[in-house]
Amino acid sequence: MASYNGERFLEEQLSSIARQTKLPNEMVVTDDGSTDATLSILESFARNSPFPVRIYKNPVRLGYGDSFIKAASLCEGELIAFSDQDDVWVEGRLALCLPFFDDQEVLLSVHSAVVVDEELRPLGFNWPNITLTQAIYDQSPIKNPFPGFAIIVRKGMPGLLDSPRPPELSKSRPMPHDTWISILAKSFGKVAFIKEPLVFYRRHHSTTTTVKDHSTLDLIELSRMPSAESYRQVADWTSAIATSLNRVEIHQEDYKHLRHRAVKCYKHKQACLMQRARLYTREQSLIQRLSTFLQMLRHGYYRSQQRGSLGVQSMLKDAACIIIPSLRQ
């Protein structure tokens, strides 16, 4: 857990962790300079907890992503379950997730959650919305990162602790820890998807992220961008991910092979997005747009997203863009 001024909901979350049918072996908390009663609540819980609790105070503010990574680095066990300070765990969360890791190729599990308001009243949808429980390989470039509150990760996964995270899409801050962990898990092993909602994911005015893992200001900024510029930005972000994956320290040959495949996918996705940016450039004539579209077809840029391509839905939108200028906004 990474804590920061969480006194309002913290006790409820700690109680839900203590009620787990399969208790954790330990709890590691990094506090990022709380000025309210957060530390007192944690220390009180630690004195009576049914498992060891270790609390570390960051000497300087790290931000929530780096604070979570620091907490992970201090864990002694093989598996790490991340916990927000304001959610509530379903009592069987750990018991249901842990058996998937009997398969050594599974590097991460992610489950659904019920999105609730401050009083834990459901808001009418689950997120992430997982419809099928399965453990699979899927090296397609990341589209929707797995939210940190819903994941358990294998500590020995390459790059989890020893590599700098690439920048976030907005380039205004480091990539959130859970986005980077999602990329690593998809690149190097299987992900176990669990459809059961195992957390009550609380939304309130002081939460750090939205359910899309961007701040509200980021979302407004992205929505105002012309399409061509937004595709260029995502292409640059995709290139940064490929560069960071190449810097991950790896000692096993199997992981090197998997990294090569993942980097190839991200580089192909970058090429697809750069061409798509050309297609949506407002200054292009009808003939230029048609030529760009045909080049994208010829180079396979609309094939399966599993290989880093754009997929059929993107092809249909881009075809419409050629003849309907209003779509290029």
pLDDT of residue 283: 85
4: closest CA among 25, 27, 26, 33? 33
> Is 186 in the same domain as 245?
no
CB 219 within 8 A of CB 133: no
Q: Are strands 106-116 and 122-126 parallel, antiparallel or unpaired?
A: antiparallel
Q: Out of 150, 170, 202, pick the residue that ends a domain.
A: 202
Backbone angle region of 159, left / alpha / beta, with phi > 0 → left and psi within -120 to 50 → alpha: left
Domain co-membership, 16 together with 149: yes
Record the tokens describing residue 133, joined without a space.
């429980």
Does 182 fall in a domain?
yes
Q: Is residue 124 part of a domain?
A: yes
Asked whether residue 213 is domain-assigned, the answer is: no
Same structural domain for residues 191 and 300? Answer: no
pLDDT per residue over 103-129, tens digit each? Answer: 999 999 999 999 999 999 999 999 999
**220 found inside a domain:** no
The structural domain count of the chain equals 2
Tens digit of pLDDT at every position of the chain (329 positions):
999 999 999 999 999 999 999 999 999 999 999 999 999 999 999 999 999 999 999 999 999 999 999 999 999 999 999 999 999 999 999 999 999 999 999 999 999 999 999 999 999 999 999 999 999 999 999 888 999 999 999 999 999 998 788 888 876 778 899 999 999 999 999 999 999 999 999 997 655 555 544 444 444 444 444 489 889 999 999 999 999 999 999 988 899 999 999 999 999 999 999 999 999 888 888 899 999 999 999 999 999 998 899 999 999 999 988 877 655 54
**Contact call for residues 88 and 199 (beta carbons, < 8 A):** yes
User: Is 123 in the same domain as 197?
Assistant: yes
E-strand stretches of 14-159? 27-31, 53-57, 79-81, 88-89, 106-116, 122-126, 134-137, 151-154
Q: Which residue segment(s) compose the domain that 252 sits in?
A: 225-327
284 shares a domain with 172: no
In a domain, 131, yes or no: yes
Do residues 112 and 244 both lie within one domain? no
CATH code: domain of residue 151 = 3.90.550.10
Residues 263 and 194 in one domain: no
> Are 184 and 261 members of one domain?
no
pLDDT of residue 206: 58
Q: Are residues 42 and 73 in the same domain?
A: yes
Assess whether 277 and 184 both reside in one domain.
no
**In this structure, are 167 and 40 located in the same domain?**
yes
pTM, whole model, 2 decimals? 0.89
Q: Do 189 and 274 share a domain, yes or no? A: no
Does 219 reside within a domain?
A: no
Q: Which residue has the tokens 């401050």?
A: 118
